[in-house]
Amino acid sequence: MNINDEFVVKIDKLSNLGTGIARIDGQVVFVENACPEDELKIKITKVNKNFSNAKVIEIITPSSYRIKPFCPMQNVCGSCQLQFIDYDYQLALKKQIVEDAMRTIGHIDTSVNNPVPSPEIKGFRHKIQCPVSQTKVSKKILAGYYKPHSHEIVNIKYCPIQPEICDKVIDFIRNKAPEFGITGYNEQRLSGDLKHIVIRSSADNGKLLVILVINGIKITDNFTTLAKEIYDAFEDVNGVCINFNNKKTNVILGNKTQCVCGHDFIYEKILNKTFKIGASTFFQVNPKSAENIFKYVKKEISKENNPSVLDAYAGIATFGIVVSDAAGKVVSVEENKESIEKAKEVLELNGIKNVELHTADTTKYLKSIKKKFDITILDPPRKGCTEEALDEALKHTKKKIIYVSCNPATLARDLKYLQEKGCTIESIQPFDMFCHTYHIENVAIINL
C-alpha cells in the first residue's frame, strides 16, 4: 500500500477520534468523513507501519445513517466532524467509543448507559474562539475556524452551532477592523494585530462578553475605538475586553485582560445558581447539557443524608456550588487562584454559606489533612488523575467517588486503577456536551 493508491472499502466502525475504520489486506485504514456501513472509494494519504490514513474520493453506497449536514461548511471546517451522521446514531457511536475504551483500556465489565442527548443540537455552543488572519493581496480580514489538520482559516460567516448574534458580532469586527488600520495575525511571521476573537455568551439571558486577543502589550487607540464601536452597535454586548498575548503559543488567551467598555463578565444560570463568567473563566461550552450533568451529580449526592463532599479540581467550584443545597458541607479545591477568586464572588452572589474554598493542588491538599469526606467529586482535566491523586482520594473518601471526565481513555485507565484497589464501578453515564464531534463527557459512580 502506497500514498495515492485507490481502493473501494466498506466502513466497519468509528475510531475514538471520529474517523471511519476500514481494513485492506488486514491493515487498518482510518478514513475521514466516513460513516459505518458506507461503501467508499478512497485514496491513501499517509502510510504508517501499523495503519494508514485515507480520504474519500467517492461515496459509492452511502450508509443509511448518512445525512445532509445542516452547515454548508461542514466539509471544510474542522469543528463538526460528525455532522453528516444522523444525531441519534452519533449518540450510539459515542456510546461505542466509551465501551471500547472501557473494554480495551480499562478491562471493565460494567455496562455503559445510553448517552443523554444535548437539549439543543444547534446554537448550543456558548464559548466561541475564532482565530484571525488576513489575505496577502486584498488584506481582507479572515475569522473562522481551522481546516482539519491545518492552521488554514476557513472564513466562517454563518455557524449554526453557535448563537446567531455571535456571527453578527464577528462579521462586524471582520469588516470594521480594517477601517481603523487593524491587521490580522500572521502566524508564520508573528506579525499583525488581532489574533483571536473570543465570545462568551449567556444561555440564560443572551448577553455577550467580547474579547479581542491582540498581539501586543498595551491598548492602542485603534483598538479602543473598535471596542467602543462593538459595544455601541450591539445591545446584547455586556462588555468588550482586550486580552494581551504576544507570545508564540497555541494558548489563545494571555494572562492579562483589560475591560474597555461595559463589564468584564456575563451572568449564567445553572440549576437556579447564578455564575459570573469572565474572559478566562472555565465554564462548559454547552450550558444546557452541562445542567443535565449537574442535575445527575446532585441527584447522586442527594441519596446520602447531608453528606460532606469534596469538590476536587473545582475550577470556579461549579459542582460544589450546584450541589451545596444537597450537602451538609462542601470543600472545593482548585489550584488556580483566579478561579477561586471568581468562586468567592459566586458564593456571595448566591448567598451560599456551606462551601469552603481552598487554593491548592488537589493531591497536596489531601496530603495535608486527615479529614474524610462522604463523597468525592473528581473533575480533572483531559489528562485524568495521577495514581497518587487517586490514592489520596481513596484515603479521604468514605462512601463513593463521582468521577466526571471528558476523555473516555483516561477515565478507563483511572477506573481500572480504582477497580484494582477494590472499588466497584456502579455505573457509567455519558452526556453529549459536544454535538457533532467525537467528544463525549462521562460521569462514573464508584463505590468504595
Query: Catalytic amino acids?
Result: 406
Q: Report d(CA 86, CA 285) in Å as an integer.
A: 22
Strands 27-31 and 20-24: antiparallel
| C-alpha distances in Å from residue 208, one per residue of 26, 29, 119, 245, 279 | 52, 43, 21, 21, 11
CB 84 within 8 A of CB 67: yes
Q: What does the H/E/C string look like for the chain?
A: CCCCCEEEEECCEECCCCCEEEEECCEEEEECCCCCCCEEEEEEEEECCCEEEEEEEEEEECCCCECCCCCCCCCCCCCCCCCCECHHHHHHHHHHHHHHHHHHHHCCCCCECCCECCCCCCCCCCEEEEEEEECCCCCCEEEEEECCCCCCEEECCCCCCCCHHHHHHHHHHHHHHHHHCCCECECCCCECCEEEEEEEECCCCCCEEEEEEECCCCCCHHHHHHHHHHHHHCCCEEEEEEEECCCCCCCCCCCEEEEEEECCCEEEEECCEEEEECCCCCCCCCHHHHHHHHHHHHHHHHCCCCCEEEEECCCCCHHHHHCHHHCCEEEEEECCHHHHHHHHHHHHHHCCCCEEEEECCHHHHHHCCCCCEEEEEECCCCCCCCHHHHHHHHHCEEEEEEEEECCHHHHHHHHHHHHHCCCEEEEEEEECCCCCCCCCEEEEEEEC
| C-alpha distances in Å from residue 100, one per residue of 103, 402, 408 | 5, 21, 9
Please, how many CA atoms are within 13 Å of residue 67, restricted to the half-sphere of its CB? 14
The one-letter code for the residue type at 372 is K
Q: Report d(CA 44, CA 50) in Å as an integer.
A: 14
